[in-house]
Chains A and B, each alone.
Chain A
Amino acid sequence: MSFGPFLLLALMEGMVTSAVLALAAVGLSLVFGIMRVVNVAHGEFFMLGAVSAWFVSQWVPGPPVVGFAAALILCPLFVGAIAALADMTVLKRLNYEPEATIVATIGLLYILQQAALSLYGPDARPVPAPFNLRVQLPWFGYSGYKIAVVAASAVVLLGVWRLLAKSRVGLVMRATQYDRETARAFGINVDRVYAGVFALGGGLAALAAVLIVPIQQAHYLMGTDPLLLSFIVVIIGGLGSLRGTVIAALLIGLSDGVISTFFAPTLAKIVATLAVALVLVFRPQGLFGRRAL
């Protein structure tokens, strides 16, 4: 294959990474933006989404598409419920004090990882794709499912944006973000908003994982990479900025696709992590954000 089509392939792979990354990172960004909580267990919510999708695909009879559709609905709800539970039993009692919540979410990370290892086992297992469609380009054939992932991610992101910007729920969330005390004075149940936002963040990570799991197998350690990449995206995009997060996800996903294709994947990660550390040091508000961490 000559260079042009090869680059196109790298970019298309990068688009798939970007699409999934954007969903996971928006979840992390929402939680930080509204609750000011840095959730280190976010990657484990992603992992739980993938692992629970495998269980659903085993339990639901019929063609793969039925099981996949069920997973698409059930897994985010399941992970969201776990997230809400963690918020109500642990984070709320810590009064969302930043350092204590980080330590607590590190603890949560280990608990969830061990739970997955004990209940699901150390193997990587595939979940069948809902459909097998091959899109034939002039130079190579490409998986139709991957294109569907990008489209689905775009639809969900649009939905999140509408939820935040246009709905009453979004208004309540933004009010809480702007001033928690005043929101409480106006009768908003801040505790419930926080639990809901934490659940939404976890649910988005799980949804991203369900979308990716037919391409990448489910494994109990799969949460580490999405966590680091989400951090990178959220920091480069500017914390709490939805638009910045999506742009940064595109930037990171596409460059990851290109660097991983033409050079070594480990090198791509070294460059990205160093870039983030330096962005935080020299431009703490991120490239697009308005507020510092």
Chain B
Amino acid sequence: MSAGARIWALHLAALALLAAGGVLLPAYHLTNFAKVMVLATYAMGYNIAFGYTGLLSLGHALFFGAGLYGAGMLVQHAGAAAGPAAIAGLLAGGAMAGVVGLLALRTQGVAFMIVTLMFAQAGYLTILYNTAWTRGDEGIVIAREARVLLGFDLSADLPRYFAAFALFAAGLVLKLWLVRSPSGRVMIALRENEERSRMLGYDPYARKLAALVISGLYAGAAGAAYGLLFGYVGASLASTQYSILPLLWVLLGGAGTVLGPFVGALLMFYLIDYSSAVTTASLLVVGVALVLLVLFAPKGILGTLRERWLKWLP
């Protein structure tokens, strides 16, 4: 089997397993997996910026929030249907990433992290400030009647699972294609050595901006899907914590691996889910996981697997 065929076979098999899960999983896990797939789509977008292009952003909640509120406010205030609202959310995430990127990409390293953090904080405060539109702290609850896509009721377990699956599958296939394409190679080159890529004739600013916009489109789509599938659009989903979580998932699963964000999101979700049965200290789990990861496994699960055994893993 050629390398390309092997890679596609692995990822399509993973998708087939998830599709089968829709039929096999009990109701409780069905909802959990739907949530994990939406959040993993968000994390895949984060991974395109952080894992592949080397842009450590601490402000992705702004793009997730743009998708969330872009879709949610359109449904709430303009009575839009779920389909157009989801597309609006996708575009809002990409547009927000474009605007932030234009400014923030003038900086590098630590300054880039702080600039993105500050923009996201300003966005979060703006959501709290404009209570008339966003309902502030309370958030918007999207009515069941508005959550219908192509005739399927997204608030029911099975359609919700497969809507999340469709989003995740599209994101995964697109990402796999992207990182194996010549543009994806340039992104990795920028991460490894920006000066050398510049010398080879690539424009780092434009390439990074493109990566950030793609990342923002993923985050926007995931945000819109989150609002439409779970019916809640709230400011807490645009807070700093939602910038940190995708970083955590990507680090856990493996930065710069295609399946890593899903593995990380899934493990972290169930780790918190099970530990919350024992203790209420879910923040502690997040904190300890972050510290242990950077100390002992900076490459994450799939990153370590790739280093040791599976050199071909994309």
Q: A38-B110, A107-B288 are in contact. Are A93 and B119 (CB under 8 A)?
A: no
> Cα distance A281–B283 when bound, in Å?
32
Cross-chain contact A103 with B247 (CB below 8 angstroms): yes
Cross-chain contact B114 with A108 (CB below 8 angstroms): no
> Which of B114, B115, B244 touches A106 (beta carbons < 8 Å)?
B244
Cross-chain contact A110 with B290 (CB below 8 angstroms): yes
Determine if A98 is an interface residue (Cβ-Cβ < 8 Å): yes
Determine if A222 is an interface residue (Cβ-Cβ < 8 Å): no
Q: Give the number of residues in B that approach A within 8 Å (Cβ atoms).
A: 38
Cross-chain contact B284 with A231 (CB below 8 angstroms): no
Contacting residues of chain B (268-298) with chain A, CB-CB under 8 angstroms: 280-284, 286-291, 293-295, 298
Q: Which B residues are CB-close (under 8 A) to A90?
A: 291, 295
Cross-chain contact B287 with A108 (CB below 8 angstroms): yes
Contacting residues of chain B (84-132) with chain A, CB-CB under 8 angstroms: 103-104, 106-107, 109-111, 113-115, 118-119, 121-122, 125-126, 128-129
Cross-chain contact A100 with B103 (CB below 8 angstroms): no
Cross-chain contact B291 with A273 (CB below 8 angstroms): no
Q: A108-B291, A264-B129 are in contact. Are A280 and B283 (CB under 8 A)?
A: no
Contacting residues of chain B (293-310) with chain A, CB-CB under 8 angstroms: 293-295, 298
> Which of A98, A107, A114 touches B289 (beta carbons < 8 Å)?
A107
Determine if A293 is an interface residue (Cβ-Cβ < 8 Å): yes
Q: A107-B287, A113-B283, A228-B121 are in contact. Are A102 and B110 (CB under 8 A)?
A: yes
Minimum CB distance partner of A271 in chain B: B122
Q: A110-B284, A111-B284 are in contact. Are A270 and B125 (CB under 8 A)?
A: yes
> Cα distance A110–B268 when bound, in Å?
15
Q: Which A residues are CB-close (under 8 A) to B121?
A: 228, 273
> Cα distance A293–B109 when bound, in Å?
8
Q: Which B residues are CB-close (under 8 A) to A158?
A: none
Cross-chain contact A280 with B114 (CB below 8 angstroms): yes
**Smallest CB–CB gap between A138 and chain B, Å?**
36
**Smallest CB–CB gap between B277 and chain A, Å?**
16
User: B24-36, CB under 8 A of A: which get 1 and which 0?
Assistant: 0000000000000
Q: Which B residues are CB-close (under 8 A) to A282?
A: 106
> Cα distance A27–B284 when bound, in Å?
25
Contacting residues of chain A (58-110) with chain B, CB-CB under 8 angstroms: 90, 93-94, 98-100, 102-104, 106-110
Cross-chain contact B115 with A277 (CB below 8 angstroms): yes
User: A213-242, CB under 8 A of B: which get 1 and which 0?
Assistant: 000000000000000100110010000000
Determine if B258 is an interface residue (Cβ-Cβ < 8 Å): no
> Cα distance A94–B244 when bound, in Å?
19
Q: Which A residues are CB-close (under 8 A) to B238?
A: none
Q: Which A residues are CB-close (under 8 A) to B247?
A: 103, 106
Q: Which B residues are CB-close (under 8 A) to A235?
A: 114
Chain B: residues with CB nearer than 8 A to chain A? 56, 58, 103-104, 106-107, 109-111, 113-115, 118-119, 121-122, 125-126, 128-129, 244, 247, 251, 280-284, 286-291, 293-295, 298
Knowing that A106-B244, A108-B287, A273-B125 are A-B contacts, what are 10 other residue pairs whose CB atoms are under 8 Å apart, sorted by A's residue number?
A102-B113, A106-B247, A107-B286, A107-B290, A108-B291, A110-B286, A111-B287, A114-B283, A277-B103, A280-B118
13 residue pairs A–B, Cβ–Cβ below 8 Å: A106-B290, A107-B289, A108-B291, A114-B284, A118-B280, A118-B284, A266-B129, A269-B125, A270-B122, A270-B129, A281-B106, A284-B107, A293-B109
